[in-house]
Amino acid sequence: MTSTDLPAQDAPRYVRLKIELIAEITDEQALKAAALAQVENDEYLDDEERAQSVEAIEVDPSGSLAHFIDPVALLGDVPGIELTSATWESAHTDFDPDEESWDEYSVE
C-alpha cells in the first residue's frame, strides 16, 4: 500500500476493533448484586429496558457481566477518535487453561 492508496486526510477512516476477553466468574452472587445495582442506578434505562436487564441478570451470570462493559471508557480519552458504534455480548464458553490452544489468551 502506498500513501496514494490512503483516503484523503479529511475523509473519515473507520477501524473495527475486535477484542475477546475470557473472564472467570469467581463469585456469582457478588457479580449479580453489583450488576443489579448498576442497572438500578443507570439513568439512561427506561422501565422496559431496566426490566429486561434485571431478567437477563437473574437468568445468566454472563448477562451480569455485560453491564460493566463500557466502550466509551476504552476510547473516550483517545485524541482524534470518535466512537461511532459499539456492540458487545457476553456468553458462556468452554475454556481449559491447561489446553495449549488457549495459551495465546493467557494473562500473566
pTM to 2 decimal places? 0.65
| Helix (H) / strand (E) containing 47 | helix 47-59
pLDDT at residue 107, rounded to an integer: 56
pLDDT at residue 37, rounded to an integer: 95
Handedness of CA 95, 99, 104, 108 (dihedral sign): positive
Which parts of the chain register pLDDT below 70?
A: 1-11, 101-108
pLDDT at residue 6, rounded to an integer: 56
